[in-house]
Amino acid sequence: MGVPELEVAARPAELLFVILLLAFSVLGCGARTLLDESVDSSVSERMTGDELCDGLDQDLDGAVDEDFRDALGRYVHPRHCGACGVECVVPDTAALEMDCLLVDENPVCGATLCVPGFWPSRSGRCVPAYDHLCLPCTQDTDCGLGALASCADVGGERRCAVACEVGCPSGYACQADGVCAPAGGSCSCEPSDSFELACVVDTTDEDAPGGPAGIPLPDPLPEPDMPACPGRATCLAGVLSECVAPVESCNERDDDCDGEVDEDFRNAVGGYSDLHHCGQCGVDCALSPVPEGDLVCGGDPFAPACVLSCPDTLDGVQPGDRVDGDRDIATGCECTVTSLDDAPGPVGAVGQDLDVNCDGADGEVTLSVYVAPDGDDAGPGSPTRPMATVTAAIERAMEAGRPDVFIASGTYVEALTLPSGVRLHGGYRRDFLALDPAGFTTVLRAPLDSPLPGGAALMSTDCTPGDTVIEWLSVRGRDAVEPSSASVAIWLGCLSGGRTLRLDTIDVRPGVPGAGRDGTAGMPGASPATLPLEGAPPRGALESGRQCTSGPANTVAGGAGGQHVCAGQSTAGGAGASAGCPFFANFQPQGDRGQGRAPGRGGDGGQDSRGPVTGSSCPRPVCCGLADFQVPSMFTGPRPGDAGADGTAGSRGAGCADALGRFAGTTWTPGTSTSGSAGTAASGGGGGGAGGGAEMDFIPNACEFADGLGGGGGGGGAGGCGGGAGSAGTSGGPAIAVYVDDSSAPGLVVQGSRLTAPDGGRGGDGGAGGGGGAGSPGAPGGFIPLAERITPTLAGPFPGERGGSGGRGGDGGGGGGGCGGASLGVWGGSAADASRWRALNTFDVGMAGRAGRGGGGAAQGGDGIQGGSFDVLSR
């Protein structure tokens, strides 16, 4: 077959096809290896080229036409748009530039730049840009096919517009939202028109001349998406004005869009003080004539009311002026101003003697916050509209710069943290026009969940310089909720610098402190539950050829020792010795030693005897009776096992020696006692020795008896466990009326006050040590009752001896007792501080807490010491 010529101008794909065809024709069958090599190596190496758009993979990367397709496989190249060879060329139309666009997700050749006056549509055609301007619309598609056309707000109407980037035609200008609109601002505002249009005030453009800029909206305003600040725009001579906010009215709304509500009718503290809107909108003092004279809006600045107009006030209030202080029209201008300054007090004053500036309450009302049980924390905190909690009032005082807090009589269950510079005044009647701390008692009581140290009701540790006052209050801490815890009524700190704090005429009492917890008694030592066993009784030997053969058949077992374990340590008794075949004068085995620290020794085994008796010591040739036996000259019987040693007693715990304890930060740490120690375990007794046997000589017709085997020794008793330790008792807590967390407190003044403290907490008793466990007695050795000893074989052997008893466990030591708590009026400050406080106050402190007793046992624990009783204890 001839090889056809290849045209040099052939495309690479055609060339590759011809080469492959030639390879197949030359190789034919059986040329598989050569074909594989030519295609897989040489061809692929030589024929790889740039990718073309032709449906083939020229660059052999596994992808076809990838340089001309997007991730979804669509042909999006401008020379191959939608398919290979479809080129996007500029037609003879309004288009200036073309590209391959996606229209409805399909590749289409479309215009990207048009001649002036035209723009690309969403479908890629050049369409007129301005033919829809100012036409009414509801959506963008109503405004033509241009991509930059939109339905926008133009002069308060929905009209078609184009984006400013297209260029605005003559008579149009670019407005704030980026679209072209008529230069007059409205598609409807013609030179001959005159009308108003609803709009929304744009409060963000504060620098716009002539007032805030506006965005006109249709009239009526849409709901519910209507913005909050509606205004009006005016069409006049073809020009639409800016959106102008309305004048503020008293209606609890922000009419003029300045961020404030009814500001033209309210005073500096927010109260409605306008003559025609007094206390609230619509209350008009001018419409309520009274015989006594004209009415004005006055009284409580936080809650104004219509009051009598007093002539003296027309030129301002001065000392000597008469004003309507009680806000009672019937009493006229009854209050004479004696001072413009109104410091709290004095105690016992009522009415005008207390309210010297005639502003309706003690103190300067605009600089104070008022609290009463029937108040409302959402209110202004004025005398007529007080707050309900002291906590909220303190926050208001700090936020508003009104440092004095006046508190009407009642009980306030709160835990207060008092900042520097706030002044608390209690003891007032509900109207704050009478001050009598004894009659109008104001109690600040800590809640059960008070987070303050010691369950305090009040804490002040702010180091910021300032004058802080607490006066005419009763302060009560809560009872301790945990054992061995302190109780505190007032906790103070940071008084050694420039800060001052005055406690004046207050009645202070902490709660009951926590008593110490008694220690627990030690557990008694356990006695052995597994008792020792008796040894087996004596018996006759099983002989072979008239001889006793040693082995299990001729072994009389000793009893097993008692078993016991104490804290992982065995206190078992030793096993009793087992008796074997007798040999005259031989000793049988010794019992096993017990276990433990000092176990009992096993008892020695007894010696063997021999029978019968012959010779001169016998009146007959052979004496073969129940008592006819020969013994060694120094004959020794079996011995019992020794008893195990007793355990040692535990040591006693030490009693508490620090009755005051100490504060670490805000946590009180009591003085501690210690627990006793446990007794040690006893030891097991030794096993009993085996009884000696009787070796019998066989004499035909005279003494035909087998050897007798001695009894097994009894097992030793196990030792008892030691008694557990008694645990320590804990200390009672202190009761502290006022705790001062400073070693020197020159800034603290305490005067005219009564500081009471209950008894200190009782110290907990130490727990008694547990008794040691008894050891078990040793078991008896094996024996035969006398009535059963009817042959020399049974009469000659000795019984086994008893095992030794196990020892008794040591008793545990008793725990130490806790200290009694202290009772203190003031704890803290220096000796000089203590001297000042003692001289100016009354103290009623309780008894010192009883000391805890040491726990009993073999070693009784030490007692704690009694707490103290102190009016003032300096640090």
* Cβ pair 415, 450 in contact under 8 A: yes
**Which residues, 6 or more positions from 414, have their beta carbon under 8 angstroms from its beta carbon?**
389, 390, 391, 444, 445, 446, 447, 457
- Tracing tokens 């191959």 back to the chain, one arrives at 80
Q: Mind listing the pLDDT tens digit for each residue in 162-198?
A: 888 878 887 788 988 888 888 877 887 777 677 676 6
Higher per-residue pLDDT: 27 or 543 = 543
155 lies in some domain: yes
pLDDT-based confidence at residue 861 (cuts at 50, 70, 90): very high
For residue 553, report the phi and psi dihedrals to the nearest 5 degrees. Answer: -65, -25
Of 46-50, 245-249, 327-331, 533-537, the one with minimum mean pLDDT is 46-50
653 lies in some domain: no
Q: Mind listing the pLDDT tens digit for each residue in 666-675?
A: 999 999 999 9
Task: State which H helix or E strand residue 396 sits in.
Answer: helix 390-400
* Cβ pair 335, 358 in contact under 8 A: yes
Q: What angle do CA 485, 489, 492 make, to 5 degrees?
A: 100
CA-closest candidate to residue 461, choices 404, 498, 420, 502: 420
Of 160-174, 411-425, 498-512, 761-775, the one with minimum mean pLDDT is 160-174
pLDDT given for residue 639 in this prediction: 98
75 lies in some domain: no
Both tokens of 460, joined, read 């002040």
Q: Which of 225, 240, 255 is the last residue of a domain?
A: 240
Higher per-residue pLDDT: 416 or 199 = 416
Q: Are strands 76-77 and 80-81 parallel, antiparallel or unpaired?
A: antiparallel
C-alpha 171/C-alpha 812 separation (Å) is 110
Whole-number percent of the chain with pLDDT over 70: 90
Higher per-residue pLDDT: 771 or 6 = 771
DSSP for 301-349 reads: TTS-EEEEPPGGGTT---TT-EE--S--GGG-S-EEP--S---S--TT-
| CA 120 remoteness from chain centre | 64
C-alpha 147/C-alpha 825 separation (Å) is 85
Q: Mind listing the pLDDT tens digit for each residue in 690-745?
A: 999 999 999 999 999 999 999 999 999 999 999 999 999 999 999 999 999 999 99
Q: Mind listing the pLDDT tens digit for each residue in 103-137?
A: 888 999 988 888 887 878 777 888 787 878 888 99
Task: State which H helix or E strand residue 100 sits in.
Answer: strand 95-103
C-alpha 556/C-alpha 541 separation (Å) is 10
Q: Which residues pair with 434 in a beta bridge?
A: 350
The dihedral region occupied by 85, where left means phi > 0, alpha psi between -120 and 50, and beta the remainder, is left
User: Looking at the structure, do residues 138 and 231 belong to the same domain, yes or no?
Assistant: yes
pLDDT given for residue 468 in this prediction: 96
pLDDT given for residue 383 in this prediction: 95
827 lies in some domain: no
Q: Which of 240, 273, 292 is the last residue of a domain?
A: 240
Largest distance between two CA atoms of the chain = 176
Q: Which of 144-153, 188-197, 264-273 has the highest mean pLDDT?
A: 264-273
Q: Which of 189, 223, 240 is the last residue of a domain?
A: 240
Q: Mind listing the pLDDT tens digit for each residue in 76-106?
A: 899 999 899 899 988 867 888 899 998 888 9
pLDDT given for residue 378 in this prediction: 95
Of 202-216, 557-571, 587-601, 732-746, the one with minimum mean pLDDT is 202-216
* Cβ pair 806, 717 in contact under 8 A: yes
Range of the domain at 159: 129-240
Both tokens of 68, joined, read 């001309």
pLDDT-based confidence at residue 549 (cuts at 50, 70, 90): very high
pTM strictly above 0.85: no
CA-closest candidate to residue 415, choices 482, 466, 490, 353: 490
pLDDT given for residue 459 in this prediction: 98
Say which DSSP state 46 is in: H
**Which residues, 6 or more positions from 552, have their beta carbon under 8 angstroms from its beta carbon?**
none
Q: Mind listing the pLDDT tens digit for each residue in 190-221?
A: 776 776 766 667 665 444 333 333 333 333 33
* Cβ pair 522, 768 in contact under 8 A: yes
CA 26, 28, 30, 34 torsion: positive or negative?
A: positive
DSSP for 435-471 reads: B-TTTS-EEEE--TT--SGGG-SEEE---S--EEEEE
pLDDT-based confidence at residue 48 (cuts at 50, 70, 90): low
Q: What is the dihedral of CA 345, 351, 355, 357, to 10 degrees?
A: -150
Average pLDDT (831-852) is 96
73 lies in some domain: no
> Considering its fold, how many domains does the chain have in total?
2
Give whole-number Cα distances, 755 to 439, 475, 872, in Å: 19, 10, 10
Count CB atoms within 10 A of the CB of residue 545. Answer: 5
pLDDT over threshold 70, residue 427: yes
Residue type, 569: Q
pLDDT-based confidence at residue 38 (cuts at 50, 70, 90): very low
pLDDT given for residue 240 in this prediction: 74
541 lies in some domain: no
Average pLDDT (543-572) is 96
pLDDT given for residue 238 in this prediction: 67
C-alpha 650/C-alpha 767 separation (Å) is 13
CA-closest candidate to residue 660, choices 729, 734, 743, 739: 734
pLDDT-based confidence at residue 231 (cuts at 50, 70, 90): confident
506 lies in some domain: no
Q: Which residues pair with 101 in a beta bridge?
A: 108
C-alpha 861/C-alpha 651 separation (Å) is 8
* Cβ pair 578, 551 in contact under 8 A: no
* Cβ pair 621, 637 in contact under 8 A: no
117 lies in some domain: no
Average pLDDT (355-379) is 96
Residue type, 350: V
Average pLDDT (62-85) is 90
